[in-house]
Structure 1
Amino acid sequence: MSALDSGMGIGDAQAWGIDVRGNNVFLKPIAEKPETNLIITTNKGRTYSFQLVTSKSPHYIIKLACDKPKTGKDKKFDIPCFNGNANFRYGKWGDEALAPKYMWDDGRFTCLKFTKNDELPVAYQVASDSSESLINYHLEKDTMILHGISKEFRLRLGKQVLGLRSDDAISSGYNEKATSINGTRELNYD
């Protein structure tokens, strides 16, 4: 916990006594009803969120076990939003300066891969009545991952506009892994 990129935050700091020693966090309830939350971030980029409550049968020790990072030999070529079935058939029109280098969808997410130094446009989903609405997204390296699929998207940056369309968007529907993010982690309790 002493590294600059790790830390801890607690909702009601007066309700709990906290001591940190190396990778260990010691907690002791002080208040009569000390229910609060605790968030711990590690220097490995992990974030743990806890709900702290008192109990008649408490867990005195909780250990968190994480998989070790894969070595270069074990790493797979990781492509965002690719589950083995991808649609790359997208057409474009408008300001080519906004065009992504590649574009595809996997039936749940739409990915736009840009050149590393490109200024990223704002993405809009186009409805059947031609109205535009902002679409949520997140970035993974140089790939903009739109949270959904659509027959048509528009990218805007200043006065520039680029239309993107696919009549072949895959609709996979069911989420077999029951998660919306890759790399889910399990907590192992001893």
Structure 2
Amino acid sequence: MGFRAYVGFWFHCSPNPAIEQAGADTSERRNDDYDMKGDVAIAPTAVWDDGRFTYFQYDTSRRVPEIYEIQADGTEAAPKRHVDGDTIVIEGMATGFVLRLGKTVMAVRNNAYSPDGSFNRTGTTVPGWVRITKDGNHG
């Protein structure tokens, strides 16, 4: 019988050049101020939010963990999500998330969380598109 020791530390996610370019192509705000703590084996390649949704990008050859949102009372809940290519899109934002794959765990903290999110000025989620109503108003 043995024991397993765990030493944790927070480390900052490096900005991804592809994400930076995508952010330059739209008027949407990109927040990549996230820290991670735990087993790096399940760490995403990149994590960011746009003030509305949270994005976890993974190399396509890696096993992807389950993602749970940390609630105000400290409990974990499975958020509504969808997959877009190599990215898991969490339909919302939170102060933190917990990633789990078997007994492997990682915490992800949003250092720039704002409960108000950001206003969708274009009225659409399609980059480069703007919704214009019949009366000529935007959004």
What displacement does 1:176 show? 2.8
Contact 1:105 1:169 in 2 (8 A): no
Distance 1:140 1:93 in 2: 25
How many angstroms does 1:137 deviate by? 1.1
Q: Identity of aligned pairs, percent?
A: 30
AA in 2 matched with 1:178: G
More helix by proportion, 1 or 2? 2
Give the whole-Å Cα distance in 1 for the aligned partners of 2:90 and 2:110. Answer: 15
Q: 1:85 — aligned with what?
A: 29
> Deviation per CA, 1:127-177, whole angstroms, max 9, x where unpaired?
122100001111111111111111110111111111000231254343333
Residue 105 of structure 2 is aligned with which of 120, 136, 161? 161
Which residue of 2 is the match for residue 178 of structure 1?
A: 123
Where is the strand percentage greater, Structure 1 or Structure 2?
Answer: 1
Alignment TM-score, normalising by the size of structure 1: 0.50
- Which residue of 41, 45, 50 maps to 1:97? 41
* 1:112 paired to 2:63: no
After TM superposition, give the deviation of residue 87 of structure 1 in Å: 1.1
What residue number does 2:79 align with?
135
Structure 2 unmatched ranges of 5 or more: 1-20, 132-139
Q: Secondary structure at the match of 1:108?
A: coil
- Is the 2:66–2:100 contact (alpha carbons within 8 Å) kept by the matching residues of 1? yes
Conserved 8 A contact 1:154-1:163: yes
Q: Which has the higher contact order (CA 8 A, sep 6+)?
A: 2
- Structure with greater Cα Rg: 1
**Separation in 2 of the partners of 1:110 and 1:140?**
12
Aligned counterparts of 2:123 and 2:22: Cα–Cα separation in 1: 20
Equivalent residues, number: 106
Tell me the CA shift for residue 83 of structure 1.
4.5
- For normalisation by structure 2, the TM-score amounts to 0.66
- Distance in 1 separating the partners of 2:67 and 2:126: 22
Task: Identify the residue that residue 93 of structure 2 maps to in structure 1.
Answer: 149
